[in-house]
Amino acid sequence: MVRSFLLAAALAAAAPLAQAQGTVKIAILGPMAFVQGENHWAGAEMARDEINKGGGIQVGGRKLQVELARIDTNEIQSVPDATNAMERAIARDKADFLVGGFRSEAVLAMQEIAMDNKKLFLGAGAAHSKLGINVEANYERYKYWFRVTPVKDVDLVRQSFAALGEVAAQIRKQLGKESPKVAILAEKAVWVEGIVAAAQKNLPAMKMEVVGLWQPSAVATDVTAELAAIDRSGADIVFTLLSGPVGIVVGRQMGERNMKAIAFGINVEAQKDGFWQATASKGNYVSTLETIAEVEITPKTVPFVKAFKERFKKSPTYNAGTYDAIMLLREAIEKAGTTDADKLVPVLEKTVFTGITGVVEFDKRHDPVWGPGKVTGLAVQWQDGEKVTFWPPQVKGARPFRMPAAK
Amino acid sequence: MARSAGVVIQMLQDILVTGLVNGGVYALLAIGFSLVFGVARIVNIAHTAFYMLAAYCFYTLLVTAKLNVLLAALIAIAAVTALAALCYRLVIEPVRSHESAVLIATIALGLIFQELMLVAFGGNFLGIPSAIDGVASVLGVSIPYQRLLILVVAAAALAATWFVLYRTRLGLAIRATANDLEVANLMGMNVNRVAMVAVALSVALAAVAGVVVAPVFVVDPLMWLAPLVTMLAIVVLGGLGSLKGSLIGALIIGYVEAITVFALPQGAFLKGAVALSIMVVVLLVRPEGLFGVAFEEER
Amino acid sequence: MRNPLAYAARWGWVNLKNEVLVLPSRAFVLAWVSAVLVLPLVWPDPYILRIVTLTCLFAIFAASWDLLAGYAGQVSFGHALFFGAGAYTSGLASLKLGWSPWVTVWLGVAFAAVLGLVVGFLCLRLRGAYLSLATLAFPLIATGLLFAFPGFSGGELGVSGLRSVAPTRIGNYYVAAIAMLAAVFGLWKLADSKFGLVLHAIRDDEVAARASGINTPRYKLVVFAISAAVAGLAGALFAHYIRVAGPSALEVALSFQVVIWGVFGGVATIYGPVAAVFILYPLTEWLGSFKAFGELRLLAFAVIVLAVLLFMPRGITPWVRDKIETKCPRCKQRNGAWRAQCRLCGAPLREILASRTA
């Protein structure tokens, strides 16, 4: 009795709350009323149940159970709400670790609070590179931030060009066009700027002709005028860079107009299961980069996606990367033998972790390294109501890209 | 900027057709709003929230309950109109004498509807299938049939509104109340009932818009905010309370947006801002809008 | 009597007893001010401090709206423009020029005031609903401009990594609290002065005001500038507090929010909107902290606002004040509701009240 008390006291001194209670408390922060938050939470629940079923996290002879706190950040509607939620997670729920986040503007504000409190914050949603640049610029303050998923916006450029080459090859083969015409349809946002500039510079070298750039608002509800103009330009490919609901509108209205051009690029809405329904089945042939699908990215991917579908009756989006974040956390905690954030940072920096979206290894900005054998991402296409992975072609489970029948 | 004449003509065709179709959508929303303001002096912020409700109702009946398109549309319009009359009775009428309270009540109603839909359907985007598929070619511009349907419905709804207002006794009562509330009251009209009828009529127009427009857009709980702003700009531009003004304002905004996108593809995101700037400029020249009556200050 | 300390204490007590405690509303304000000032000393919980800090900042914002909308009758639907202008100006200046927030906040205030003059000038000839709906457009046009120059404004992300005004949590709290008290009492004094009287006149009858020799355009411009400046102060402090100045500071939702606060609390009072923020903001946050219920907070918020307005269409503070205080029918002084006689002129209060209700 006395001995166990002493042991508990000793452990408590090392890492105050978590070990005294025999649990690790992880706050899952996300917009819980929206698909993003649902996936944050679902991915986290999968990780919690898997860890707890296996006995917990092994720390110095003790098994710690994972306890989750569901924190609704409401970040899509309000940035101050998100900061309040972060403070509440730390001060009220006494969370040891923070996982989640989605809207970059809100995550930047939440990052500050987490760093003030020197809490590990594992991002599973926001793609903006500024989050990582902070780490490089002011390491001592921002070192507690790690982005588990997705890859940062800059790496999306490489990923999209690689897949775009694949699409262009198809067009050359099937339509016999030497240099396919590309219309760039990018929402007006900072994250697309680098990609647009790179596209305008590199596409001619990849034997593609850029016929124009259209930049609607990310929340536009109607792109008729844009699409009419693109139709006129005779484009074969519409290179989309869309993160907002405009992605659905583009998919649907292209289908409605029977446009012969096909949409490829980044279309976050097209990554969701609901895309097919949202476009009223008009979104055929729309393709987009993707982070996770039921293909063998790593040996863990297919079992995870299968179990996820079984449990939640829908496919995971990249926000379910909270699963990877928590699994990664477990690995780091077991390796370091402590839940102390300062000791975990160097361990996480050195960790090479095989997750569901690839092999996660952090660079000096605490971003996952992009590249073959690390995290590459996927490209998927909607084919008759089914989301089919077509890139990288060598991944097990990939199927060929399809072109609309010539009309 | 040397462009060949052919390209310019093509662009003009595009602008002409796209602007007209989008203007028709806007007109449907703006006229109802203008009507309520004219008759009851209510700035009904929840107007487009009813449009959203109609879209959700239509979605549920059509996609979930698998009803016939026409039936689903009629039920959705009737249900939302009835709800609006009820809301008017329970929420707006008790605070009618307090102008600011009415304003907040409508904002709160809009928020309540938004959050209720968020709870019921989640933040997901939903799609409603078009009533008619396919594309028509007008002046060499391809327009999906659904958009032409919107144009036709908008025209029919406007004609019907015009008929009710100018050819029936009810319309006479509405116009009389709009003209001078106190005198109408003194003449023995039940101005509260007239206001309720006007609210119902206006929401019915919004519901019609929701039912025919929703299939070309995406249905989500926040879908009422963007058209709200455009609609307010149109109504102010055309002159509050003036139906003719709303129609012309809608066409102006529709064309301004189309011109922005075609002439400045990289500035397509600015179409809303440009439309609002046009509104501000018009107000600078004519503070009562294009066709508004410079009604005397109420003293 | 020789001891100055004892004299001061005695003077303070007499004033407290005779001027403050006689009226429940004054006693309440005193209790509220003291509570705001001592909170971090008795309850330094970081979460509570954050909520109250934000409450203070939004209270400044709501009070600034009330001066413009409540007193001058210029019901702005685009007040977020000034909030956002303060936030962006201060944020950009401190980030790009490296100046201390203590300086840049005032730049934000100044720029917001300039924008206030511009908007006021553009809206001089508009009134009523036209003015409300036209002002709604300005923040949206500004958002368009911000997106058009992302290199400067940071586009959809805004500017992040701003410095806080004070190094500690409690320091930040006091900056917000003292700024709030100063702004609110300043606005209240202003609204109570001759200037406020002129604003009342303009709101109630602009033509009559002009006919009595008041230069109404000038007054309207000044009130736009003052209101915008105070809103800019709130925005600038807000940006440095959450350390991000983003497009969400210009959202339509924020403009509507301040209208809700203003009307819920009671317009043309200054203290009404402040009270509304102090009630509604922590309340929604508290509702949001319930696990099962948190996602419904906005719904609960809207329902509460609607329900309260149905019973108190003039807002919550005028209603409460009428319950706890009565106005003397003879000398128009306010009295605690428990008094039978006016505390100044001795006129009976009860009977009159009874006969009125009978």
pLDDT digits (tens, 9 = 90+) for C220-258: 999 999 999 999 999 999 999 999 999 999 988 899 999
* CA torsion through residues A86, A89, A90, A95, sign: negative
Q: Is B8 on the interface with A (CB under 8 A)?
A: no
In angstroms, the CA C345 to CA C333 distance is: 9
CB A256 within 8 A of CB B144: yes
Q: How many CB atoms lie within 10 A of CB B168?
A: 11
Give me the pLDDT at residue A335, please.
92
Instruction: Judge contact between C334 and C23, C-beta under 8 A.
Output: yes
What is the rounded average pLDDT for all residues in chain C? 90
Structural contact between residues C28 and C321, judged by C-beta atoms closer than 8 angstroms: no
Q: How far apart are CA B54 and CA B206, in angstroms?
A: 8
**From the list C137, C147, C306, which residue is nearest B269 (CB)?**
C147
Residue C55: name the closest of C174, C180, C187 by CA.
Answer: C180
The three-state secondary structure class of B248 is: helix
Which residue is closest to A186 within chain B, CA to CA? B266
* Best residue in A78, A102, A118, A243 for a mutation probing chain C (most C CBs within 10 Å): A78
Is the Cβ pair C150, A80 closer than 8 Å? no
By three-state DSSP, how is residue B68 classified? Answer: coil
In a mutational test of the A interface, the residue from C52, C147, C160, C169 whose CB has the highest number of chain A CBs within 10 Å is C160
The confidence score (pLDDT) of residue C326 equals 85
Cα B217 from Cα A306, distance rounded (Å) = 33
**Which member of A72, A84, A191 has the closest CB to residue C295?**
A72
**Interface mutation target, options C68, C306, C314, chain B, most CBs of B under 10 Å:** C306
CA distance B101 to chain A (A): 24
Q: What is the pLDDT, as a whole number, of residue A346? A: 95
Could you tell me if C276 and C102 are in contact, meaning their C-beta atoms sit under 8 angstroms apart? no
Q: How confident is the model at residue C1 (pLDDT cuts 50, 70, 90)?
A: low
- Amino acid sitting at position C7: Y
Position A116 confidence tier, pLDDT thresholds 50, 70, 90: very high
Q: With CB atoms and an 8 Å threshold, state whether C156 touches A79.
A: no
Half-sphere exposure of A272 (CA within 13 A, CB side): 24
* Residue closest to B211 by CA, chosen among B76, B33, B80: B76
Q: Is there a contact between C295 and A81 if contact means CB atoms under 8 Å apart?
A: no
Question: CB-CB: which of C51, C156, C253 is closest to A105?
Answer: C156
Contact C259, C53 (CB under 8 A): no
Do residue C130 and residue B101 have CB atoms under 8 angstroms apart? no
C306, B229: Cβ pair inside 8 Å? Answer: no
User: Does the distance separating the beta carbons of A188 and B269 come in below 8 Å?
Assistant: yes
| pLDDT band for position C219 (cuts 50, 70, 90) | very high
3-state secondary structure of A407: coil
Helices (H), A92-202: 104-116, 130-137, 139-142, 153-175, 190-202
Condensed to tens digits (0 to 9), the pLDDT of residues A66-85 reads 999 999 998 888 899 999 99
The two tokens of residue B269 are 């995101």
pLDDT of residue B192: 84
What does residue A269 show for φ and ψ, rounded to 5 degrees? -65, -30
Give the percent of chain C with pLDDT over 90.
61
Which of A216, A257, A282 lies closest to B268 in CB terms? A216
Is-contact A392 A378, C-beta < 8 A? yes
pLDDT in tens, chain B (299 residues): 445 677 778 788 888 888 888 888 888 889 889 888 888 888 899 999 999 999 999 999 998 898 999 999 999 999 999 999 999 999 988 888 888 888 889 999 999 999 999 889 888 888 888 878 888 887 777 788 888 888 898 889 888 988 998 899 988 988 888 878 788 888 888 888 888 898 999 999 999 999 988 888 888 898 888 889 889 899 989 888 888 899 999 999 999 998 988 888 888 888 889 989 998 888 888 888 888 765 544 43
- Residue C209 contacts by C-beta under 8 Å, 6 or more apart in sequence? C198, C201, C202, C216
> What is the tens place of the pLDDT at every residue in C10-51?
988 988 888 888 888 899 999 999 999 999 999 989 999 999
A72 in contact with B at a CB cutoff of 8 Å? Answer: no
- Distance separating alpha carbons of residues B222 and A273, to the nearest angstrom: 20
Name the residue among C119, C115, C255 with its Cα closest to residue B284: C119
Instruction: Name every chain A residue with its beta carbon within 8 A of the beta carbon of B18.
Output: 224-225, 228
Tokens of C181: 């008290």
Verify whether the Cβ–Cβ distance B216 to A253 is below 8 Å. yes
pLDDT of residue A14: 45
pLDDT at res. B4: 66
Query: Which chains does chain B touch, 3 or more C-beta pairs < 8 A?
Result: A, C
CA atoms within 13 A on the CB side of A185: 38
B122 touches chain A (CB under 8 A): yes
Question: What percent of chain A has a predicted confidence (pLDDT) above 90?
Answer: 51
Contact of A134 with A111, CB cutoff 8 Å: yes
Using CA atoms, how far apart are residues A180 and A168, in angstroms rounded to an integer? 7
Residue B22: how many other CB atoms lie within 10 Å: 25
Predicted pLDDT at A302: 93
**Cβ contacts (< 8 Å) between B245 and chain C: which residues?**
none
Give long-range contacts, CB 8 A cutoff, 24+ apart: B76-83: B76/B207, B76/B210, B76/B211, B77/B204, B77/B207, B77/B208, B77/B211, B80/B50, B80/B53, B80/B54, B80/B203, B80/B204, B80/B206, B80/B207, B80/B210, B81/B200, B81/B203, B81/B204, B81/B207, B83/B50, B83/B53
The torsion angle over the Cα atoms of residues B148, B153, B159 and B162, rounded to 10 degrees, is -130
- Residue B287, SS3 per DSSP: coil
In this predicted structure, what is the pLDDT of residue A17?
A: 43
Is the pLDDT at C119 greater than 50? The verdict is yes
Nearest neighbour of C288 by CB, restricted to A72, A105, A190: A72
Under 8 Å CB-to-CB from C290, ≥6 apart: which residues? none
Q: Chain A partners of C243 at a C-beta cutoff of 8 Å?
A: 108-109, 112
Give me the residue from C134, C206, C313 closest to B283, CB to CB.
C134
The residues, ordered by sequence, that sit 6+ positions from A222 with a Cβ below 8 Å of its Cβ are A249, A253, B22, B216, B217
Nearest in space to C309 (alpha carbons), one of B110, B89, B101, B107? B101
Distance CA B200, CA C105 (A): 49
| Residue A19 pLDDT level (bands cut at 50, 70, 90) | very low
What is the DSSP secondary structure assignment for residue A211, as one 8-state letter? E
B216 vs A contacts (CB less than 8 Å): 222, 252-253, 256
**Hey, are the CB atoms on A70 and C243 less than 8 Å from each other?**
no
Size of interface B-C (CB pairs under 8 A): 129
Length of chain C: 358
Contacts of C141 in chain A (CB under 8 A): none
From the list A313, C357, C334, C358, the residue with the least C-alpha distance to C347 is C334
Q: Which phi and psi (to 5°) does residue A309 adopt?
A: -65, -40
Q: pTM of the predicted model, to two decimals?
A: 0.90
Write the pLDDT tens digit of every residue in A214-243. Answer: 999 888 888 888 898 898 888 999 999 998
Question: CB contact, 8 Å: C118 with chain B?
Answer: no
Task: Name all chains with 3 or more CB-CB pairs below 8 Å to chain A.
Answer: B, C
Contact A212 B265 (CB under 8 A): yes
Ranges A103-107, A327-331, C273-277: which has the least confidence: A103-107
| Predicted local distance difference test score (pLDDT) of residue C354 | 53
- pLDDT tens digits, C80-91: 999 999 999 999
* Mean pLDDT lowest among B237-251, C180-194, C338-352: C338-352
Which residue in C138, C145, C309 is closest to B104 by CB distance? C309
C140/B297 CB distance under 8 A: no
Q: What are phi and psi of C127, to 5 degrees?
A: -145, 165
* List of chain B residues whose C-beta atoms are within 8 Å of the C-beta of residue A229: 11, 14, 261-262, 265
Q: Which of C328, C120, C79 lies closest to C222, judged by CA?
A: C120
B258: number of CA atoms within 13 Å, CB side?
22
Q: How far apart are CA C169 and CA A89, in angstroms?
A: 17
Q: Is C185 helix (H, G, I), strand (E, B) or coil?
A: helix
Residue C285 touches partner A, C-beta closer than 8 Å: yes
pLDDT band at C189 (very low <50, low <70, confident <90, very high): very high
Contact B268 A224 (CB under 8 A): no
What residue of A is the nearest CA neighbor of B222? A77
What does the buried/exposed string (b/e) look like for C317-337 if buried means 16 or more CB atoms within 10 Å of the residue's CB?
bbebbeeebbebeeeeebbbe
Q: How far apart are the first and last CA of chain B?
A: 56
Q: Which two tokens stand for residue B105?
A: 């009540």
pLDDT (tens digit per residue) in A388-398: 998 888 888 88
Q: Report residue B39 as tokens.
A: 């008759």
Are B125 and A274 within 8 A, CB to CB?
A: yes
Q: Residues 20..79 of C with a Cβ closer than 8 Å to B: which?
A: 75
Q: Give the pLDDT of residue A405.
A: 63
pLDDT higher than threshold 60 for residue C347: yes
Chain C partners within 8 Å of A87 (Cβ): 46-47, 50
pLDDT at A306: 94
**Contact between chains at C299 and B111 (C-beta distance less than 8 A):** yes
Is residue B268 within 8 A of residue B64, CB to CB? The reply is: no
| Preferred mutation among A76, A108, A134, A219 to probe C, highest tally of C CBs within 10 A | A108
Chain-centre distance for alpha carbon A182: 26
Please judge whether C155 and A188 are an interchain contact, meaning their C-beta atoms are less than 8 angstroms apart. yes
User: Do the Cβ atoms of B265 and A274 come within 8 Å?
Assistant: no
Tokens matching residue A198: 């790179």
Contact B226 A221 (CB under 8 A): yes
Q: Which of A234, A83, A82 is nearest to A171 (CA)?
A: A234
User: Inter-chain contact C156–A104, Cβ cutoff 8 Å?
Assistant: yes
User: In chain C, what residues touch A128 (CB-CB under 8 Å)?
Assistant: 157
CB C162 within 8 A of CB C243: yes
From the CA of C307, how many Å to the nearest CA of chain A? 23
The pLDDT assigned to A128 comes to 85
Q: Which of A214, A248, A256 sits opposite B268 (nearest CB)?
A: A214
Q: Write out the two tokens for B118.
A: 């968020």
| Model-level ipTM above the cut of 0.95 | no
Q: What is the DSSP letter of A204?
A: G
Cβ proximity of A248 and A35 under 8 Å: no
Identify the pLDDT of residue C216. Answer: 92
| Average pLDDT in chain A | 88
Round to whole Å and give the CA distance between B240 and C295. Answer: 37
A-chain residues within 8 Å CB-CB of C295? 32-33, 72, 74
Q: Where are the alpha helices (DSSP H) in chain B?
A: 5-40, 47-59, 69-87, 99-121, 145-167, 169-179, 181-186, 191-213, 225-238, 243-263, 271-285
Report which of residues C73 and B178 the model is more confident about: C73
Size of interface A-C (CB pairs under 8 A): 89
User: Is pLDDT larger for residue A193 or for residue B250?
Assistant: B250
